[in-house]
Amino acid sequence: MSTLRVEALEQPDGTAFVFNNKNLLINGGMNIWQRSTSEPVSADILATVDRWQNGINGMGAFTVSRSTDVPSAQGFGYSCKYDCTTADTSPAAGDYIVHYQKIEGQNLQHLLKGTSSAKAVTVSFWVKSNKTGTYILDLFDNDNTRQISKAYTIDSASTWEKKTITFPGDTVGTLDNDNAQSMRLLWWMGAGSNYSSGTLNTSWASTTEANRAVGVVNLADSTSNEWYITGCQMEVGSTASGFEFEPYETTLRKCMRYFYFITNNVEGARNWANNYMVEEIQVNMRDTPTSVSFVNTAGGGSWGVTTTSGSGTGFRIYSSGLAGKTTQMKIDAEL
């Protein structure tokens, strides 16, 4: 019996064939912004672009916003922009600035991490900043407290540059096969000595915090500083392929698994108190939501949630007043 080895597949126009769902990151094109398209950020929070954490811990303050400044002729509509609004030229030891995403373990089983067949992953992205110098990309194994970092350089000020970084497979520490966080991919833009005073850890090892972001710039050292990112992709293998563009609805549904924003009016019955209704949502959420919030309530009642069905597939909502009404409901099941 003979075998056929295929090195590459091309489409009729000569471009690489794109396999569906190769990107282990969600919303890498920065298209979905359910929470807000612009927020002041001075903490480690999920405040703006879906699935991406804006991590500012004591290192100045930034406005994080959706920007239409994107790489030319690459097909992207938006980027995520960090704009320094409060400078910090002398960061404290525990300060940091990071942009990151958490990934479920059940979506990473094919990496075969913790086995002799562990697979490499390659991260590609577009980045732009007026502040040139060394930045750090960090892949963190949350299940086994292991980590690896790679440095990259922004060479030209205020110019979009594409970066490609490969992390080797890790033969130590298997990943849990569940819906909890197993890995985290972090872009460091600044770090205090707790994260930068050692030697950069460029091979998989047990996490030493001081080795994670050695040599990184301080994006917070001037209110003139800005940093943009888009086209983030992490895929199996040692080479980067073209960015996986997918329909807006597809990306939105992936994001809704973690955060669901209902903008339609939801009304309780108007003739008696303590009314109940069930609100079914369009996707199965990652887990039972950690919070459900209501805004713009009116009509003399207040709203709350008593139970959920399944893994966040529906909610039993009550109104404590005669005419409870809400115009927005936010359901959070983030990692």
Q: What is the spatial distance between Cα 53 and Cα 332, in angstroms, rounded to a whole number?
A: 14
Q: Which residues pair with 318 in a beta bridge?
A: 276, 304
Q: What is the spatial distance between Cα 142 and Cα 241, in angstroms, rounded to a whole number?
A: 27
Give Dmax (Cα) for the chain.
76
What's the CATH code of the domain at 208?
Answer: 2.60.120.260
For the question of whether the overall pTM of this predicted structure is more than 0.85, the answer is: yes
Show which of 220, 238, 254 is a domain's final residue: 254
Do the domain assignments include residue 18?
no
Q: What is the spatial distance between Cα 137 and Cα 144, in angstroms, rounded to a whole number?
A: 19
Q: Say whether 2 sits in a helix, a strand or coil.
A: coil
Residues 72 and 126 in one domain: yes
Residues 145 and 267 in one domain: no
Residues 247 and 264 in one domain: no
Q: Which of 329, 327, 314, 315 is nearest to 267 (CA)?
A: 327
Show which of 254, 283, 299 is a domain's final residue: 254
Q: Which of 291, 3, 257, 238 is nearest to 121 (CA)?
A: 238
List the chain pLDDT tens, one digit each, 335 residues. Answer: 555 555 555 544 444 455 689 999 999 999 999 999 999 999 999 999 999 999 999 999 999 999 999 999 999 999 999 999 999 999 999 999 999 999 999 999 999 999 999 999 999 999 999 999 999 999 999 999 999 999 999 999 999 999 999 999 999 999 999 999 999 999 999 999 999 999 999 999 999 999 999 999 999 999 999 999 999 999 999 999 999 999 999 999 999 999 988 776 555 443 444 555 555 677 888 988 777 776 655 555 555 555 454 445 555 555 555 455 556 778 899 99
Q: Which domain holds residue 231?
A: 38-254
The beta-carbon contacts of 214-218 under 8 Å, at least 24 apart in sequence, are 214/136, 214/149, 215/134, 215/136, 215/151, 216/134, 216/135, 216/136, 216/188, 216/189, 216/190, 216/191, 217/131, 217/133, 217/134, 217/135, 217/189, 217/190, 218/59, 218/88, 218/89, 218/91, 218/190
Phi-psi map region of 41: left, alpha, beta (phi>0 left; psi -120 to 50 alpha): beta
Q: What is the spatial distance between Cα 105 and Cα 100, in angstroms, rounded to a whole number?
A: 16
Counted domains in the chain? 2
Show which of 203, 220, 254 is a domain's final residue: 254
Residues 250 and 261 in one domain: no
